[in-house]
Structure 1
Amino acid sequence: MRQDGWRQAADADGQVLAGRYRLTGLLGRGGMGAVWRAHDEQLDREVAVKELRLPEQLDDAARQTWIARLDREARAAAGLRHPGIVTVHDRVTGDDGRPWIVMELVRGRSLDDLLKAEGRLPPVRVAQIGLQVLDALRAAHRAGITHRDIKPANVLLENDRAVLTDFGIAAVEGDATLTGTGVVLGTPAYMSPEQVRGQEATAAADLWSLGATLYTAVEGRPPFEGASTGAVFIAIATEDPAPPAHAGSLEPILRTLLHRDPSQRPTADHLHAQLAWLVQGRQPAQPPVPPTVRHPPFPRPPKRPALSRKKKIVGLVLIAATAVLAVALTATLAVPAYQERQENQRYEANMSTIAGMGTIPGSSTDLSREDEGEVEVTSVLCEDASSDRCDVNGQVNTVINWFRAQSVVRSVILNDPRDECDDYAGCRLSVLTQSSVEITYVSISVERGTTSQSDKVLVLEFTVD
């Protein structure tokens, strides 16, 4: 018997739930449960039954939270009636107290399985799938439900029918959140930029995830990939996806869906018209550009006179190991293509270096792209530098020790007296590396704040070249 909280197929096969649902075979496993094929002996029909996974180390409180999540899925999906959404028939309890959801059995495979077996799909076929999933999403959104986990594995294909399933992490309007601190809900490659930043997932986030799913279907790979979850998060938060090579007329639709700014994505109604035109063999009209919504930037101090380097700071919440900032693209049409590629490669290498450095000291960290692919890092060490709670000397030690712990760093030297670090002029550090990467312009200084809570903040700044 396995000890990871999962029931072996041989043990569950033949089990009868609630006196009527006999399990006949395992269909698949996911992050929160396993799905079984079962026979409803009362109505003489086949159904799908989802079993909740409960890790053995859970205490009673955590166990109840997991059970509440499955109940939440049942409530969310049971309230929806749409041909593009898997129908929920029942919710029953097993002998061990765990809940099971009884659902419609979709006789087909997931889009993820199809892509693994056959590779990328033609744009018109992808548009057909997208149109049906969009119809399902519009029904969910009208009911106040945001799915939050649109991905190829959650799109089931039955002949020409596409069905959306797995509302296990859906946000129900009016429901208290069940998300624990630090828990990432969603699949990294298909999470919208706002989800990556820890912001609320709205209907626009579902549309972004739909765009990522359609991109994957037409290209055979996700729009953002990386060696780790953190690398994927950085790419989603800071980069545009590579232009799809096989999307054809679907390309402008994907481009607008995958816009990092939710306000610049198409509405569900306009997207429906675009996809319908493409399915009918007509060239979709260019989507109108929604009015730009300007969001206030993350509060940061103005640039001190002693520094002349231009900065563009947009605040991001610290996520997954480091937090990042939207990229300011500097290449222009006049720049030769080879030079632009070199600068982009340099920028990507610098971003990878920063991602590998772990959690940067400070309560928040912002990154901006400089000329020739350099990345400038700004991190707020103390929100109120004038407060006794801001131990400037301790912060300096933390920064020095953090740099010395990096594998790419050979030595760290504090060039100025420590008491100059708590002045507007600041103090400088020399960081010598043992690789081709250079860490320059390292300073710790007090800068003027922009909030009512403080007029001084202690800031760490450095550039990765």
Structure 2
Amino acid sequence: MLAGRYRLLSLLGRGGMGAVWRAHDEHLDREVAVKELRLPEHLDDAGRRTWIARLEREARAAARLRHPGIVTVHDRVTGEDGRPWIVMELVRGRSLDDLLKAEGPLPPGRVAQIGMQVLDALRAAHQAGITHRDIKPANVLLEDGRAVLTDFGIAAVEGDATLTSAGAVLGTPSYMSPEQVSGNEVTAASDLWSLGATLYTAVEGRPPFEGASTGAVFIAIATRDPGPAVHAGPLEPVLRALLQRAPSQRPTADQLQARLASLAEDRPPTAPTVLLPSGPRSPRRRQVKIVLAAVGGAVVLGLALVAVAAFIDTTQQQVREKRDNARYAANRKAVERMTSIPGKVVTIRRANDADKVYVESELCDDGTFSVHQCDVDGMIDSVVDWLGMQPSVTSVRLDDPETECEENPGCAFSVRSEGEPEISEVAIYSQYLSEPNRSIVLGFRVG
């Protein structure tokens, strides 16, 4: 019994910040959903206060919203251990994520209907000054044709101080917008990008960006275009527009609503009506024709100049790509010649800089993972010893406390290299492989 009123009945699901329970409200004789805050064991008092403040902010954010597409918050109570709990409307349905796992990709029309309802809920949140920041299939609940947006746990609320710790990753990597990945300001346009990624997943059965690690996903989101949505049909142009890297190039909520509405109703989008005058031609009409001809000539000349500029730009780009490819090949060979790299090398990939190579090596993974079972001091020593054996390395320094090597983003080394190969961005950090398993890895860049 929670707060002398809510009797917990069964666990509905778990997430990064908490668990959600089905409960019975003994006072009003109704079933509700209750969210429990989960506190990581390693938190100190300051960290504990930050996590609790996040749940408090979720309650405030959701309580400000009144919309059929947003889960209603009924109450906020405190447990015997001082942790806050949020009491919410119980949505009797499953999440979009669960539906996709059970039935596979959905038809474009159905996805457009879901997207239209989630968009309507987002517009209400944005008008209230709230950015969700974690739109994904698991946070879209489906109940009798109704799509409901939930989990405002990391929402950005206008007027609230930020509660994001330095270096912390808040959000789900595959559904984080390019500006969110880059640590820039998150706006309503960011939520629309995440909505596009969610709808892409719903129609294709996979996210638009995937990778072997969180870092690989982030790099893909920040630097690449998504693969074509081959099953999206008429929804494909909408997804492509939403997943533009530049927020200014994405459609507005009004533009998106009109397009989704036409797709949800399985009708073509409304085209603008063009009215042509009738009747005999007049001298004025001939003058217009002459002017249009002159303008047309200027346009042709302009297009020719644009084509020449485009050709020059393409040629320069090809030269740069050829140069970068040659440097990348040399750097990759340098990595392949390296011996005694600590741990088990799991990833060798192209870095953000097109000519450089990024390497990840797994230092510790016990299957179930407990950082306390990993010899962090030994890992640091092995990395320092290995760097000291590289001919180009002249000095190594650990910049962060050893305890941060067990966390994400982890601990970084300052490495000074003279000559080839240049080694930089060396760090040890914790990385999720799959829930709930984690490993500690060494990451470094060559080039």
Please state which band the TM-score falls in when normalised by the shorter chain: 0.5 to 0.7
CA RMSD of aligned residues (A): 3.6
The correspondence for 1:193, drawn from 175, 178, 187, is 178
Relative to structure 1, the CA distance from residue 410 to residue 57 in structure 2 (aligned partners, 3 Å threshold; closer, same or farther) is closer
1:429 to 400, 407, 419: 419
Alignment of 1:138-177 (within 5 A): 138-177=123-162
1:211 aligned counterpart, secondary structure: helix
Q: Is the 8 A contact 2:392 2:418 kept in 1?
A: no
Matched residue, 2:72: 87
Deviations 1:215-267 (A, max 9, x none): 00000000000000000000000000001110000000000100000000000
Match of 2:258 in 1: 273
Q: Within 2, Cα distance between the matches of 1:244 and 1:411? A: 47
- The match for 1:233 is 218
1:127 paired to 2:147:
no
CA distance in structure 2 between the partners assigned to 1:329 and 1:249 by the alignment: 36
1:100 maps onto 2:85 in alignment: yes
User: 1:376 offset after TM fit, Å?
Assistant: 9.8
CA distance in 2, matches of 1:22, 1:376: 54
Partner of 2:282: none
Following the alignment from structure 1 to structure 2, what is the Cα–Cα distance between the partners of residues 123 and 150?
Answer: 19
Q: How does 1:35-434 map to 2 (within 5 A)?
A: 35-284=20-269, 367=352, 369=354, 405=387, 412=392, 429-431=419-421
2:24 is paired with a residue whose SS is: strand
Q: 1:57 to 1:286 in 2, by over 3 A?
A: farther
Which of 27, 32, 56 is the matching residue for 2:17? 32
CA distance in 2, matches of 1:101, 1:329: 57
Shift of 1:59: 2.4
Give the distance between the partners of 1:260 and 1:195, measured in 2 at CA. 11
Q: CA deviation at 1:463?
A: 9.2
Q: Is the 8 A contact 1:196 1:237 kept in 2?
A: yes
SS of residue matched to 1:50: strand
- Change in CA separation of 1:134 and 1:329 when aligned onto 2, cut-off 3 Å: farther
- Cα distance change on mapping 1:40 and 1:329 into 2, 3 Å: farther
| CA deviation vs aligned residue, 1:326-365 (integer Å, no higher than 9, x gap) | xx9958xxxxxxxx9xx8xx99x97xx89xx99xxxxxxx
Whether the 8 Å CA contact 2:219–2:352 is kept in 1: the answer is: no
Deviation track 1:14-43 (CA, whole Å, cap 9, x = no partner) reads xx1122111111111111111000011111
Indicate the residue corresponding to 2:286 in structure 1. Answer: none
Q: Tell me the equivalent position of 1:396.
A: none
Unaligned stretches of 5+ in structure 2?
273-312, 343-350, 359-382, 395-416, 425-444
Q: What is the CA-CA distance between 1:268 and the residue it aligns to? A: 0.5
Mapped to 2, the partners of 1:329 and 1:257 lie a distance apart of 30
Change (3 A) 1:329 1:174: farther
What is the deviation of 1:410?
8.0
- What is the CA-CA distance between 1:175 and the residue it aligns to? 0.4
Q: Which has more radius of gyration?
A: 2
Tell me the distance in 1 between the aligned counterparts of 2:169 and 2:134.
11
Contact 1:121–1:217 (CA<8 Å) still a contact in 2? yes
**CA deviation profile, 1:58-106 (whole Å, cap 9, x unmatched):** 2222222111110100000011000000000000111111110000000
Cα 1:243–1:25 shift into 2, 3 Å: same
Aligned-residue offset at 1:55: 2.4
**Secondary structure, in 3 states, of the residue corresponding to 1:201?**
coil
Aligned residue identity for 1:135: D
String of CA shifts for 1:132-187, please: whole Å, max 9, x gaps: 00000000000000000000000000120000000000000010011111111100
Corresponding residue for residue 275 of structure 2: none
Q: Structure 1 counterpart of 2:80, which letter?
A: D
What residue identity is the alignment partner of 1:121?
L
Distance verdict in 2 for CA 1:463–1:410, change over 3 Å: closer
Q: Is the 8 A contact 2:209 2:221 kept in 1?
A: yes
Secondary structure of 2:34 counterpart = strand
Query: After the TM superposition, which segments of 4 or more aligned residues of structure 1 sit over 3 Å from their partners?
Result: 284-287, 328-331, 366-369, 374-377, 409-414, 427-431
Q: Residue 6 of structure 2: which of 11, 21, 33 is its match?
A: 21
Q: Does the 8 A contact of 1:195 with 1:205 survive in 2?
A: yes
Residue 83 of structure 2 aligns with an amino acid whose one-letter code is R
- Using the alignment, how far apart are the partners of 1:285 and 1:214 within structure 2? 22
Q: 1:207 to 1:101 in 2, by over 3 A?
A: same
The structure-2 alpha-carbon separation of the partners of 1:286 and 1:31, relative to structure 1 and needing over 3 Å to count, comes to farther
* In 2: Cα distance, 1:286 partner to 1:221 partner: 32
Aligned residue pairs: how many?
Answer: 319
| TM-score in terms of structure 1 length | 0.62
Q: Which one-letter code corresponds to 2:243 in the other structure?
A: L
The residue type equivalent to 2:56 in the other structure is D
